[in-house]
């Protein structure tokens, strides 16, 4: 079982590293990239 667990762990780590390094903003909120306007208040 340890070999299969190790392979699964390495695959998950590789996916996480590739997501972090190559597509860091893929899971981010698009509202974080709009510039702030001090004259307009956000929707409550």
pTM of the predicted model, to two decimals? Answer: 0.60
Sign (positive or negative) of CA dihedral 19, 24, 30, 31: positive
The residue ranges of every structural domain in the chain are: 1-25
What pLDDT sits at residue 9? 96
Where do runs of H (alpha helix) occur along 1-44? 2-22
How do residues 7-28 score in pLDDT, each as one tens digit? 999 999 999 999 999 988 888 8
Supply 44's token pair.
């409550």
């Amino acid at each position: 079982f340890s070999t299969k667990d190790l392979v699964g762990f390495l695959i998950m780590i590789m996916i996480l590293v590739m997501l972090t390094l190559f597509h860091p903003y893929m899971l981010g909120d698009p509202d974080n990239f709009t510039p702030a306007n001090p004259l307009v208040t956000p929707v409550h």
